[in-house]
Amino acid sequence: MSERAAPVTTTEEQHDDQEPARDAEESVDADATAEAASETEQQPVTTGAEAVVRALENAGVEHAFGVQGGAIMPVYDALYDSEITHVTMAHEQGASHAADAYGIVSGEPGICLATSGPGATNLVTGLADADMDSDPMVALTGQVPTEFVGNDAFQETDTTGVTTPVTKDNTFSSEPDRVGTDVSEAFALAREGRPGPTLVDLPKDVTNAETDREPDEPAVPHTYEVQEEADREIVDAAAERIENAQRPVMLLGGGVIKGEASEACREFAIEHEIPVVTTMPAIGSFPEDHELSMEMAGMHGTGYANMAITHCDTMLAIGTRFDDRLTGGIETFAPDAEVIHVDIDPAEISKNIHADYPLVGDAETVVDQLSEAVDDSPQITKWRAQCQQWKSDYSMAYDTPDDEPVKPQFVVEALDEATSDNAVVTTGVGQHQMWACQYWTYTEPRTWVSSHGLGTMGYGLPAAIGARFAADDDQEVVCIDGDGSFLMTLQGLSVAVREELDITVAVLNNEYIGMVRQWQDAFFDGRHSASDYGWMPEFDKLAEAFGARGFRIDDYNDVADTIDAALAYDGPSVIDAHIDPQANVYPMVPSGGDNGQFALTEDQL
């Protein structure tokens, strides 16, 4: 690995520092390689493909993830001379997840490339994933030459048609003189306002064609307008509501992290001593070891978080879209609460939960507005005590008798203990993902990388690859995966080995699609239809076959030493952790249920 993006770890200061830091870096680079750069990079563009690559360079892109192919070849040819590091992935789906994770960790759009047809369709899962989670990402797809478009040519699909529902915007780029600007615009759109994935479809004749047109600087189209500041009157009314609240909570959503509002939210919560609940995408926005933190709410959220949101009378919800995994049944969601909803996307206001105080604007700006408007902290000593009581009543814990197979929660806690606070955690989707939420203590934003809205199994490993390129050198990257999830994209190990990426994968292996098995036990009379994965390979040996290091955990005595050894290895390592196959995720709110009625055991479902 050569160089990585500037770290985006915690605070607003660091965020502010980023720009000058990058500028400085660039100017050093520019000085060092002034002549070379001016000769290689500053050549005028001569083809559409060069304009595409120039647009990426202008946008400050350092890494791109993709797979070569027929229709995208001109762009790859232009990349050959570029300073941009291209990471060849083993599958386009991996490219899209890696780009997605890169965007989450760095805050800047991740870039993925694929050829037309199957290359483009393989990106779709990653695009849908990024779209659901509002992650900034740019996909560049090759397309058959324009004269063949619509004729079912070799490796043709209607890529813009296929991806319209799963992108923030997409463009079929038909003009060589315009193609660079299309890419610049896609980049700007991906990160502006509510972030999301954008796609530019690049017909081979357009990228091959001659053009001397330099791309314009990244800018959003004139029809895209973002409101930064919320309406003054509603801010004042909301502030008054907060001052008079008896039982307030702050509900932080993923938008808090994307809007760089974590620090502002921390300050606001701590100044007014308001308990804080997060959604899953917001994990890390508020330190989970802080007294005010109630951690994650929702289907597998903590009991105390769910009690707090159910019983609050005032909810300051920031950057959340009230997904059903958070709200459970709408009828019973925070039924006594007046909702103050801050979101940069007006369409999120009152989509699922009615907003009594709609505040459209940038999360950080609006929280600052609220900070100024709130003069007196609410008098809520009793409420805070109640929240602490819930924390002790429903504390997260599990049994670890020595004679049973290793509990997955124990492995997660041991990994957390063995790594530093700023370690980046990626996951697949399933039981292991929930344990990774529940039993790891997150304290910094952009250290939790997961597939939230779409719930994409197989996300973990390619995400770890993307995260590794975006993370700081001293940040560990740990992928907590499930056996079923890992199996879906483990060809990415070849990439991690080739790039010598320092990644530790811990597969919590219960030889089941565990979450499905849990639901089958609870709701389908224990009929394990197609969820029994007793045929799993030995992942430690598989890792060795790829050229990575393999480890195995079978009992409690192995856990600490194995984790230390895997973390110490300077390259990709895989721990095949054989866990209690019957371990389940609790608390649990059944689908559409009442958050306050979370079950602590199967008997309570």
Partner 1 sequence: MTRGLDGPSPEERPTPAGRRNKQGIRIDPEIEAKHDPRRTVISVLVEHEPGVLSDVSGLFSRRQFNIESLTVGPTAEDERARITLVVEEPDPGIDQIKKQLRKLLPVIAVRELEPDAMRRELALVKVNAERPDRVAAVADMYDAKTVDSSPETATIEITGARQKIEAAIETLGQFGIREIARTGTTALARGTDDTAVPPTESAATEAKQTQQFTQPADDD
In the complex, which residues of this chain contact partner 1 (CB under 8 A)? 160-161, 164-165, 169, 172, 189, 221, 223-225, 303, 307, 310-311, 322, 330-333, 335-338, 345-347, 349-354, 356, 393-402, 586-587, 594, 596-601, 604
- Nearer to partner 1 (CB atom), residue 397 or residue 530: 397
Relative to beta strand 503-509, strand 573-578 is parallel
- Residue closer to partner 1 by CB (options 338, 416) is 338
Q: Which residue has the tokens 């709130």?
A: 374
Burial code (b: 16+ CB inside 10 Å, e: under 16) for 553-566 equals: beebebbeebbeeb
515 is a catalytic site residue = yes
What DSSP character marks residue 164?
A: G
Give me the residues paired with residue 296 across strands: 278
Q: Which of 250, 434, 515, 536 is catalytic?
A: 515
Number of alpha carbons in the 13 Å side-chain half-sphere of residue 305: 27
3-state helix, strand, coil in the chain (%, to 5): 45, 15, 40
Output the smallest distance, CB 187 to partner 1, in A.
Answer: 14
- Catalytic residue of the set 168, 204, 258, 391: 204
Tokens of 387: 């929240």
**Rounded to 5 degrees, what angle do the CA atoms 420, 425, 430 make?**
140
Which residue shows structure tokens 């009690």?
307
Tell me the closest approach of the beta carbon of residue 317 to partner 1, in angstroms. Answer: 12
Q: Which of 50, 62, 92, 348 is catalytic?
A: 92
171 vs 54, 71, 196, 529, 552, CA distance in Å? 18, 16, 14, 42, 47
Q: With the CA atoms of 240, 244, 248 and 253 taken in that order, what torsion angle do they form, in degrees rounded to the nearest 10?
A: 0
Q: Would residue 92 show up in a list of annotated catalytic residues for this protein?
A: yes
CB of 194 to partner 1, least distance (A): 9
In whole angstroms, the minimum distance from the beta carbon of 330 to partner 1 comes to 5
Angstrom distance (rounded) from CA 155 to CA 457: 27
Active-site choice (155, 388, 491, 597): 155
Q: Select which of 154, 372, 524, 604 is catalytic.
A: 154
3-state secondary structure 433-452: HHHHHHHCCCCCCCCEECCC
Nearest to 257 by CA among 447, 96, 433: 447
Longest distance between any two alpha carbons in the chain, whole Å: 72
Which one, 296 or 470, has the nearer CB to partner 1? 296
By beta-carbon proximity to partner 1, the closer residue of 1 and 330 is 330
Shortest Å, Cβ 450 to partner 1: 22
Q: Assess whether 551 carries a catalytic annotation.
A: no
Number of other CB atoms surrounding residue 153 within 10 Å: 15
By beta-carbon proximity to partner 1, the closer residue of 270 and 396 is 396
Q: Which is nearer to partner 1, 303 or 319 (CB)?
A: 303
Least distance CB 164 / partner 1 (angstroms): 6
Q: Tell me whether residue 438 is one of the annotated catalytic residues.
A: no
119: which 2 tokens? 């290359």
Residue whose CB is less far from partner 1, 240 or 313: 313
What is the nearest approach in angstroms of partner 1 to the Cβ of residue 320?
A: 13
Q: Is 154 a catalytic residue?
A: yes
Give the residue numbers annotated as catalytic, written as ranges. 92, 154-155, 204, 515
